Amino acid sequence: AQRVTQPEKLLSVFKGAPVELKCNYSYSGSPELFWYVQYSRQRLQLLLRHISRESIKGFTADLNKGETSFHLKKPFAQEEDSAMYYCALSGDQAGTALIFGKGTTLSVSS
């Protein structure tokens, strides 16, 4: 069965500190992994996807198949990064739904 685990409900850091939001997954095939973000009073939106190997707003995430992880990292947190972050997984066949973790609230204070 597909499963996404985000072990931290809340992560509080100071501005300028490094951030790592953890995500582990369970999937028998080759998964597609995503990070979605929900800022206050805004819609849930895509932050980045593993296939793109891109850096968005300074965030990166590397898929580690050996550890079945897809942790989200940023070297220097900003106050505007404060939001709810969801890790999500879809299967390796078209037509499979997106499954989300329980989310981690990131709070960045000055």
Q: How many residues bind another protein (CB under 8 A)?
A: 23
Nearer to another protein, 68 or 105 (CB): 105
Minimum separation from the CB atom of position 16 to another protein (A): 29
SS3 50: helix
Tell me the per-residue interface mask from 90 to 109 with another protein, x by CB under 8 A, - otherwise. Answer: x-xxxx-xxxxxxx------
Task: Choose, by CB under 8 A, the member of 11, 13, 44, 56 that binds another protein.
Answer: 44
Task: Choose, by CB under 8 A, the member of 21, 25, 27, 32 that binds another protein.
Answer: 32
Q: Is 41 exposed, middle or buried (0-12, 13-18, 19+ CB in 10 A)?
A: exposed
Q: Does 64 bind another protein (CB under 8 A)?
A: no
Residue 87: what residue type?
C
Quote helix, strand, coil % in the chain, to nearest 5: 5, 45, 50
Rounded Cα–Cα distance for residues 10 and 46 (Å): 20
Give, rounded to a whole angstrom, the gap between the first and last alpha carbons of the chain: 41
**Binding region for another protein (CB under 8 A):** 6, 9, 32, 36, 43-46, 49, 51, 86, 90, 92-95, 97-103
